[in-house]
Amino acid sequence: MKPNFIFFVTDQHRADHLGCYGNSIVRTPHIDGLAARGTAFDRFYVVSPICMPSRATMMTGRMPSLNGVRHNGLPLPLDSVTIADVLSAGGYRTALIGKSHLQNISEYPPSLVAEAPGAGLTHASGCEEPRRARFDGPEYRQEAPSSWEDPSYGMRLPYYGFDRVDLAIDHGDQSGGDYERWARRHAPDLDRLRGPENAEPDPRYDAPQAWRTRVPAELSTSAFVAERSEQFLDQMAAAGDGRPFFLKCSFPDPHHPFVPPGRYWDMYRPDDVEIPATCVAPDENTPPHVRWLHEQRAAGKANLKGMLAVAVSPAEARSALALTYGLIAQVDDMVGRVLRKAESLGLLDNTVIVFTSDHGDFLGDRGLVFKAPIHYQSLIRVPFIWVDPASAGGARREQALASTLDIARTVLTRAGIAPFNGMQGRDLTRPPSDDLAKDVLIEEDGQRSLFGFQRPPRVRTLVTDRWRYTVYLNSPWGEFYDLREDPGELHNLWDDPARRAQRGELAERMVAKLMAGFDRSPLPTRLA
């Protein structure tokens, strides 16, 4: 019998912010319970610490440089084959509840535009790009807020292989899509409850993008994801036809803004949390891009309302952490709701449960919050828990390196379905088959010239069992850390003459990893 899958995904949730990953403050009994019944991966990484590339890789099993979503702002091509497509073709019912972010969720124009042609040159119409595909039609605006202004608007199904979609667009108490329609049915005065302009004052918490929302916990996005997931499970149990299902429960939290609702707001106090030991002021060892962020904040130039990293004081970091813990606590409660529903319906005996996140958050590390092309462990390392009812034994910790690239192949293999040609990654239920599989490659390409770079940054990181090696295109410096001796990544060894040979070895390993990742699709039609 083919197994069901419940695939929990959180947003911007670093690994060490769960009890089962060593956090002694935030209480996550339901997620910890998954780790107690399955395998928790201690060194699990994202292939890109940005929402859209990371989520596209989870769904395709292909690196951002291959799946086409190199950075935020590029939708996943609709002709892409996803694991939901493959599972659906293999007889599964598929549902996505919550955040998708496989298409753009904002209306802002791009920062990265084509260079002007040289003097005397003009583009031939329709030939500005190497492929004729366009991504500006209505089929690529299904997650755009403006599309949902029409009360009759709905998703075009199947959507990337999902037969059912209940969408929550964006974050916090101002999310849209199906979530907003659901919330308005329960609270017609929703506009008077949400947003910083309607927030209840609470001077105990002071952090960028933090406000005490008046939206009650039962009308939050996390509650929406839980309720709609319960409905889907009820439908699967009632169908009674033996068809397996793949349910993706995708929480928009604990991503900023920091707006835990109801009792979750002050569940944790700033004075009760511990900021990272790496929450330190810049010094001579601080990399240039981190120094730049602190200089921008000191000069009053930091964008405190955006999505990218900003420097914060230790007090602001404490508030951000306390509120994030509240968001995580609510997500944990909603995971518990979904699991209880599945158990009450007798589904858990044949359901594989997966828990992970799309990337982390600095949350005080280096005196920063949010995210940036700065690949500290707080940003690139996330939780991954695999619970398989067919596996004997209880809690198991896995130390081998793995990444979000491996999820698609692992799910399909467990479903008894062959991965498609060109799918990358490995089956995580088996040990790595070669040395290349033991390293993790992380790609990041930016749209904006920020962080002190003269061009939009292009970054590649190799993580091995011991080292983190990061190269910035057209930069005379990089980052090189001994994760065994320096887990906080405080001492950059890039310019250490004694480490030059090791740097060279890691450069070769990165080149080998990049070459191994070249596309093997499509297959040739003839020998020549």
For the chain, the average pLDDT equals 96
Question: Over 90: is that where the pLDDT of 96 sits?
Answer: yes
Beta bridge partners of 41: 398
Answer whether residue 355 shows pLDDT above 80: yes
For residue 441, what pLDDT is reported?
A: 98
Tokens 């990484």 appear where?
A: 45
pLDDT band of residue 115 (cuts 50, 70, 90) is confident
Tokens of 11: 């947003």
Q: Which pLDDT score is estimated for 128?
A: 83
Q: Are strands 4-10 and 245-250 parallel, antiparallel or unpaired?
A: parallel
For helices 29-37 and 314-344, what crossing angle results, to 10°? 60
pLDDT tens, residue by residue, 226-275? 999 999 999 999 998 989 999 999 999 999 999 999 999 999 999 999 99
Predicted local distance difference test score (pLDDT) of residue 117? 84
pLDDT band at 97 (very low <50, low <70, confident <90, very high): very high
Q: What is residue 177's three-state secondary structure?
A: strand
> Which residues does 102 contact at the CB level (< 8 Å), separation at least 6?
52, 55, 56, 59, 69, 75, 76, 143, 160
- In this prediction, residues 484-504 reach a mean pLDDT of 96
383 pLDDT tier (thresholds 50, 70, 90): very high
What average pLDDT does this structure show over 176-199? 97
Distance CA 309, CA 316 (A): 13
How does pLDDT run across 129-170, given as a tens digit for each residue? 888 888 889 999 999 999 999 999 999 999 999 999 999 999
Confirm if 467 and 483 have CB atoms less than 8 A apart: yes
Residue 392 pLDDT exceeds 80? no
Q: Where are the domains of the chain?
A: 4-108+136-430
**Helices 407-414 and 51-60 sit at what angle, rounded to 10 degrees?**
30
Contact 120, 114 (CB under 8 A): no
- DSSP annotation string for 355-406: EEES----TTGGGEESB-S---HHHHB--EEEE-TTS-SS-EEE-S-EEGGG
Architecture of domain 4-108+136-430: 3-Layer(aba) Sandwich (3.40)
Q: What is the pLDDT of residue 352?
A: 98
Average pLDDT over residues 5-34: 98
Radius of gyration of the CA atoms of the chain, in A: 23
| pTM assigned to the model | 0.97
C-beta atoms surrounding 193 within 10 Å: 17
